[in-house]
Structure 1
Amino acid sequence: MKSWGTQNESAVTEFILLGFPEAKQLCKLLFIFFLTTYILTVAGNLIIISIIQVDYSLHHPMYFFLSNFAFMQIWYTTVTVPKLLYGLFVKCNTISMGACFAQCYFFFLLGGIENFLLAIMAYDRYVAICYPLRYNNIMTSSFCWKLAFGCWVGIFIGSLLPVIFLARLKFCGENTLNHFFCDVSPLLKLSCSDTSLLKSYFFSLMWVIVFGTLAFTLVSYINIISAIMKIPFTTGRQKVFSTCGSHLTVVILYYCAIIFMYVRPRESYSFQEDKWISVFYSIVTPLLNPFIYCLRNKEVKNALQKIVKIKIF
C-alpha cells in the first residue's frame, strides 16, 4: 500500500477476498465441490452447444438462442469459480484493483446478458405458440442474429458506465472484501468515498434490467398460457407447453435468486447470507441448466441419443 495524502490512511492497491472463513474446516470439501461443479457446468454447456451444432434438426431459433445461453453460462461461471478455487487452494486470495473491477464488470455484463437472453427466448416461444403459421416469417435467421448481436453488444457497452463510476471511487484503509468475488455491494461498502449516489444509481439500474426483462417474460408467458388453454385436448396442451417447460424452469430458478439477492432492502441482511445466495445463482444454477434442458427437452434428448448411437455403432 502507499500513503494517501496527509491523512493517516493508505490507498488500497489490492483486495483480499475473504471467501468462506466460517467453513474453514471444510476447505478441501468446498474445493472438490466447486471444482466438480465447474467441470460439469462447462462440460454440460459445451455438450448442448455441440449437439445444436451437429444436429441439423435443431437449427432453428429456439436452439440458436439456447446455444447463446449455454455459451454465456460457461463464461458466467468462469468469471468467479477459478479465482474461488485458487483462494481455497492457497488459503489467502488477493486480487489487484484492476482485476477486481474487471471481474465485477464481466460478472455484471454476463448477468445482464442472461436477463435479456431469457426474455428473448420467452418471446421466441410466444411467437411459436401464439403465431405458429407466421413463426418462420417473424423469427427469420437475420432477425435472430440481430437480437443476439444487440443483446451482447448492447449490454457490453451499457455495462461500462457503472463500472467506470465504481473504479473512480477511493478505497483507503480496509481492503478485505467479505465475498468470494468482486461484487458491487461489498465494494461500495468498502469505499471511503460517498457512495450514496452510486448506490442509488446501481440498484435503480438493477431494478430496470431485472424487472424490465422479467415483465417482458411474464407478458410472453401470460399470452402463451392463454393460447394453450384454448387448445381443446389435454394431451395437446401438454405437448405445446412441453416446448417451453425447460425455459420456464430456468426463469423461475434464476429470477427467484436474483431478486432476493439484489432487489431488496440492504440494511437487514448480512454479506454472509449474500455469499451463499451468490453461490446458488452464479455457480449452482449454471450447473443445473444443462440438465434441465437435456432432461426436460425431448428434441435435445433425441438428438443426444442419436449422436451417441452414431458414435457407438
Structure 2
Amino acid sequence: MRPSLAARTAGVAVAAAVLQLIMIIAFSWPAARTEPRDVPIVVTGPQAGVVADRLDRERPGAFDVRTRPDEAAARAALQDREAYGAIVTAPSGPKVLTASAASPAVAQQLGAVAARLGGGAPAAPAEDVVAADSDDPRGAGFGALALPLVMSGMAAAVLLTFGIPSAGWRAAGTVLFAALGGLGVAGVAQGWLSLLPGSYLAVAGVMALAVLAVTGTIVGLATAIGRAGIGIGALTMLLLGNPLSAAASAPEMLPQPWGDLGRLLPPGASVTLLRSTAFFDGAGGGGALTVLVAWAAVGFALLAVGGMRGRTREEPAVNSEPVTA
C-alpha cells in the first residue's frame, strides 16, 4: 500500500528538519569550541624548562611544548612548519616568535601568552617570523576560500554527471574543470584579492588538485553507484570537510578527533597544502599532498568501475539484437 500524500509530506519535512540541525551543528560546533589543544610550540634559552612548566600549569593541554637548542633552531622550526610559535628566553626577558601565515588565530593566542609572560611588566615582544599576507593579516580572506572551492566542485560534479553520459568523457571534463578552476581561482586570489604570495603556477597547481579531489570523488561516486553518490559525496565534503578544514584557525584548535579527521578530507588537506605552498616553500605539505592525490585517485578508480559496469550492461542488449539475413 502506497503511503498517503500527508505521510510523505511529513516524512520529507522531518528529514529536512533533521538535515538542518545536522548542518547547524556541523558548521557552528567547531567554531564555538575553537581553542588551543596541543598546539606545537618550541621554547629555547636558559629558562626554557621554567617557561614550559608554567605553560603546562596555566594552560594544561593547550600547548605541546618542545625544546630547541637556540633561537636559530626555533626560527627554523617555524619556517619548516614544525611549530606555530616559539618562546625565546634570555636574561633580558622572553621574546615570542609567531608564524601568522600558519594560523593568525594561533598567533593571536601566543600574543596573549606574551602578555602573561610579562608578569605585570611590559609584554614580551613578539616577532612574526612568517607573516600572513599584508592584505589579509587576519586570514579572513584565506579562510573564505574553502567553501567556494567545495561548492563549485559539487556543482561541477552535478553538471558532469547529468550532462555527460560517458564515464570517460566525465573524467576528461573533471580534469579540464580542475585545470581551468585552478588557474582561475589562483588568479583571483593572487592578482585581484592579493590573499596569497608565492608562485602563481604552484598555487594554481594546488587549487587544481583540490578541485580534482572534490569533483573527482563526487563524479566517481555518482558514476559507480548512481545519483545517491552525489548526495554521499556532497555531504562528506560540505558537512564534514568544510567545517573541519580549519581554514580560519588550525586543526589543533578544533575538538579532537575532528581536527585530525579534517586533515584527511580534501578541504582540510587543501588548506594545509595551500598554506605550505604559498608561505613556507612547500614545507609541511607532504601529508596533505598525499591525501589529495589519494582522494583524486579514488575518484577516478570509481569512474573506471562505473564505466565498466555501464559497458557490461550494454553488451547483453547488443548481443540480443536479432541477426537479419
- Alignment TM-score, normalising by the size of structure 1: 0.33
The structure showing larger relative contact order (alpha-carbon pairs under 8 Å, at least 6 residues apart) is: 1
Greater per-residue helix proportion: 1
- Which structure: larger Rg? 2
